[in-house]
Chains A and B, each alone.
Chain A
Amino acid sequence: MPQYEPKAPYVRSRDSAFTMMADMIIAMLPLYFMAFYFYGSRALLLGLASVAAAVISDLACILLEGKTPYFRDISAVVTGMLLPLMMSAATPYYVVVSASVFAIVFVKHVFGGVGQCAFNPAAAGFAFAVSCWPAQVFAYPAPFSAPGAFGSAAEGLSSGPAWNLFQGGVPTNDILDLLLGKFLGPMGLTNIVVLVTCLFYLLFRGAVSWQAPATFFAVMVLAVFLFPRIPETGPMSLVYEATTGMWVFGGIFLLGEPGTLPKRSSSRLLYGALAALFTVLFQRFGQVEQTFAFALLLTNVFGFTLDRGSERLLRRLRRVYIATKTKRSEKKSAQRA
């Protein structure tokens, strides 16, 4: 489904919703590869279960609404693939499945389906899973420990460096391990090098607009650098926060979701900054280890307002600009006369 009506010259645009979603999926494949490398086949199976649940519930909702299913719409697959990446590799299957069913049914289809979501489905699904089973979502297996592919894998789990940061302590992990992603953490978002590569791929392909991530990362980096929440220097705080936090992954994959993102570029800049502000506040005062998803849900409320506000502001500025321009030209003509 193209996101805009085809216009007069009828040139086929490259950026349909399908190509954007396909780019997202391609960008997620290296993350799944890393997860497979660290945690074995369970990581892939979690992804499969989540995608299957998302696609089936999406289809069920579409049929219930009496619409015809449209097979080039793969947004459910994207939502399904995003969810397990944010959770531990030893998460039970029911957690992942119910999170993606919640995301699709109560967040995507209640507000009208693809491209019309009031909230980001993947973030809401993750938030739901955290509110239901925080112990399961935030208990991580050690890298290369290969949790059993089927059944529960609840042995040998512990909390990661993100928990240390949440408690106000300094993680004891090696810096190189942190940068390579070899530490206790969510299965898909520990390796910051791969994540940054994904960001550049998505920006280059135009699947994600640059404005929202730009201000988001700028404000986040500044906040983490200047006001560290742990007794450490700025650069070290930045390394710890960026490698262990969900906000890097979220800023790349969740923030730019086209359904919830404002439509004007000026409001996108503000939107990114607002998301960063909420994330920092939630990190400081929140009761949960990874707060980005919650902060993003709150930011989503303001997306439409920012669009309207920036529209009004720009209109007023344009009026002032035109008024001064006409005044100047009148002056000039008066001088000439």
Chain B
Amino acid sequence: MQPKRNAARRNLRKGLDLIFVHNPVLITGLALAPVIMGGFTVKNGMGLSLVFAMVTIPVLVLSSFLGMLPEKIPQYVRTIACAVLAALMLIPARLLAGGIAPNLFDSLGMYFSMMALNTVWLVCAPSCQKKKPQWALWDGVCHSLGFFVCTLLISLVREFLAYGTFWGGATALPVKFPPAAYAFGGFIIVGSAAAALRWGIDRAQDIGRLVRRQQKKWRMGR
């Protein structure tokens, strides 16, 4: 019973790490293209996160089920099945995205559909074949959360800098930096965000180490 519980705890922990410590976009560098080119307003960022979740979660679960098939079936057939499911998931995603903003599909252009080929599921699907469906689901949810958090923050900053607005509403920013919405601004802002996240994680780990050392000392003293 104990090893099983430990494995579950490890899986839970691994999934939660995907939100910050192993963030799929900022730390691992997956699915960068839509964030750089599409994520320049909060609405776009929300739309991208929605499509990401709609595509990644089912595909990872499917690949976990595909892992149960006999080994005779070659690997590429499973990849093709995943890709077809990802493409089909674009249709409900497009219907739901209309709820966020009616013109979201047009304003994101080809970057909306590009989420179906995001590198997250391409990289994680093979490893998910060895996982149980519930843990593949948990992986997908955590990947989506990590993507959502970072895309939301980046698109918020970019919309604020480029247009001086927040969710389309005006704010009191006196100077606007239009390149924040261009490709090169996207590269630089995403790069800086990645550096900032790394810096934050390093500091958090430093603090954690310090606390643990103090705890140890305290225990020894007692």
Binding site for B on A (CB under 8 A): 94, 98, 106, 110, 128, 131-132
Interface string of B54-91 (1 = CB under 8 A from A): 00000000000000000000000000000000000000
A115 to nearest B CB, angstroms?
Answer: 21
Binds A, one of B145-153, B177-185, B213-221: B177-185
Report the count of interface residues on B (CB-CB < 8 A): 10
B:184-205 near A, CB below 8 Å? 184, 188, 191-192, 195
Main secondary structure of the interface of B (DSSP, over half): helix
A108 to nearest B CB, angstroms?
Answer: 14
B residues near A128, Cβ cutoff 8 Å: 179
A131-B179, A132-B177 given. 8 additional CB < 8 A pairs? A98-B175, A98-B177, A106-B188, A110-B195, A128-B179, A131-B184, A132-B178, A132-B179
Name A106's closest neighbour in chain B (CB-CB). B188
A residues near B192, Cβ cutoff 8 Å: 106
The answer for the CA separation of A336 and B195 in the assembled complex, in Å, is: 71
The answer to whether B175 and A131 have CB atoms under 8 Å apart is no
Name A127's closest neighbour in chain B (CB-CB). B184
A residues near B175, Cβ cutoff 8 Å: 94, 98
A135 to nearest B CB, angstroms?
Answer: 11
A325 to nearest B CB, angstroms?
Answer: 51
A residues near B195, Cβ cutoff 8 Å: 110
A residues near B182, Cβ cutoff 8 Å: 131
Name B185's closest neighbour in chain A (CB-CB). A131
The answer for the CA separation of A132 and B184 in the assembled complex, in Å, is: 12
The answer for the CA separation of A131 and B181 in the assembled complex, in Å, is: 11
Name A97's closest neighbour in chain B (CB-CB). B175
The answer for the CA separation of A94 and B191 in the assembled complex, in Å, is: 24
A134 to nearest B CB, angstroms?
Answer: 10
A297 to nearest B CB, angstroms?
Answer: 11
Name B175's closest neighbour in chain A (CB-CB). A94
A61 to nearest B CB, angstroms?
Answer: 12
A residues near B177, Cβ cutoff 8 Å: 98, 132
The answer for the CA separation of A128 and B161 in the assembled complex, in Å, is: 14
The answer for the CA separation of A140 and B1 in the assembled complex, in Å, is: 78
A-B CB contact pairs (8 Å), 14 listed: A94-B175, A98-B177, A106-B188, A106-B192, A110-B191, A110-B195, A128-B179, A131-B178, A131-B179, A131-B182, A131-B184, A132-B177, A132-B178, A132-B179
Name B192's closest neighbour in chain A (CB-CB). A106
A67 to nearest B CB, angstroms?
Answer: 15
